[in-house]
């Protein structure tokens, strides 16, 4: 599978960014440009998202393998700093655990290597997108109005609607909505790994202070797999830390990449 990528920067160590569920590589554009003065940055559209190809089933291990293949295609044997948020954070962790020589350091944003028991908080988003009458939709503004009751948060609704694309047949969802909807339990889960799985490189674990995705109960699981992990909690931020506090997050990342 060929993953769609966008690049910034012409010199320096390589950095790859992995987005979260229903996202795209371009969600990281602001942060990417902020570090591209001295890094070569690649934004990835993960499988079944953005402009990347669709698959027939969901698997974190398969996603990580596709990312590894893409990074090697771009950089050969170069090591990469890998940044991942939420779903992309799980992909990044599995990539580091399975391909440690490829990952020089790891930044995991507001997610833990645990089974969250499904992503029920996303059910409403899936239902809202599935309920949108695409053949009757003529403008993006119309789609926005149609989803407003189901998704009242303007920021979240705009985030979801960035996946709406228009071609000669009308409007369509760019991501593989049917597959992702069926896969919410797997998306919330964590795959079985070898008992000796471990990544010994440096890891910064960035949590939103107002998010429930990282709790003290999850710290043992993280430290068992990533013994060099350092937890940083960002005030006035929920799950989308890098979007809600971009300056703070960028400062944390720049310091970590030095």
DSSP characters over 90-154: HHHHHHHHH-TTTEEEEEEES--SS--S--GGGHHHHHHHHHS-TTT--SHHHHHHHHTTT---H
Q: Residue 177 and residue 179: Cα distance in Å, rounded?
A: 6
Would you say the pTM of this structure is higher than 0.85?
yes
Of the candidates 22, 56, 40, 71, the one whose C-alpha atom is nearest the C-alpha of residue 175 is 22
pLDDT at 119 over 70: no
Helix/strand/coil percent split, the chain, to 5: 40, 20, 40
E strand or H helix at 29, and its extent? helix 29-35
Query: For the segment 134-178, what is each residue's pLDDT rounded down to a tens digit?
Result: 999 999 999 999 999 999 989 889 999 999 999 888 899 999 999
Q: Can you tell me whether residue 234 is helix, strand or coil?
A: strand
More confident residue, 162 or 1: 162
In the chain, where are the structural domains located? Answer: 5-114+190-257, 120-182
Per-residue model confidence as pLDDT tens digits over 59-94: 999 999 999 999 999 999 999 999 999 999 999 999
**201 exposure class (CB count in 10 Å sphere: 0-12, 13-18, 19+):** middle
Name the token pair of 166: 């228009």
pLDDT for 19 equals 98
Position 121 pLDDT exceeds 80: no
What positions carry a catalytic annotation?
A: 86, 178, 239
pLDDT of residue 158: 92
> How high is the mean pLDDT of the chain?
95
On whether the 5-114+190-257 domain is CATH 3.30.420.40, my answer is no
């Amino acid at each position: 599978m060929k993953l769609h990528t966008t690049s910034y920067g012409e010199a320096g160590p390589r950095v790859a960014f992995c987005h979260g569920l229903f996202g795209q590589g371009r969600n990281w554009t602001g942060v990417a440009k902020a570090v591209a003065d001295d890094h070569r940055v690649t934004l990835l559209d993960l499988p079944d998202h953005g402009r990347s190809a669709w698959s027939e089933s969901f698997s974190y291990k398969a996603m990580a393998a596709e990312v590894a293949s893409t990074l090697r295609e771009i950089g050969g044997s170069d090591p990469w700093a890998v940044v991942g948020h939420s779903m992309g954070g799980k992909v990044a962790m599995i990539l580091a655990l399975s391909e440690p020589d490829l990952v020089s350091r790891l930044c995991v944003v507001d997610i833990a290597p645990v089974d969250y028991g499904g992503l029920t908080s996303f059910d409403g988003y899936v239902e809202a997108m599935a309920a949108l009458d695409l053949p009757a939709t003529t403008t993006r503004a119309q789609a926005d109005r149609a989803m407003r009751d189901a998704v009242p948060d303007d920021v979240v609704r705009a985030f979801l609607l960035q996946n709406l694309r228009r071609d000669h047949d009308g409007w369509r969802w760019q991501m593989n909505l049917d597959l992702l909807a069926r896969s919410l339990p797997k998306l919330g889960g964590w795959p079985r790994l070898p008992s000796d799985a471990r990544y010994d490189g440096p890891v910064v674990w960035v949590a939103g202070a107002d998010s429930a995705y990282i709790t003290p109960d999850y710290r043992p699981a993280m430290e068992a797999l990533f013994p060099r992990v350092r937890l940083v909690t960002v005030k006035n931020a929920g799950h989308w830390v890098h979007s809600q506090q971009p300056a703070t997050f960028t400062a944390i990342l720049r310091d970590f990449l030095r």
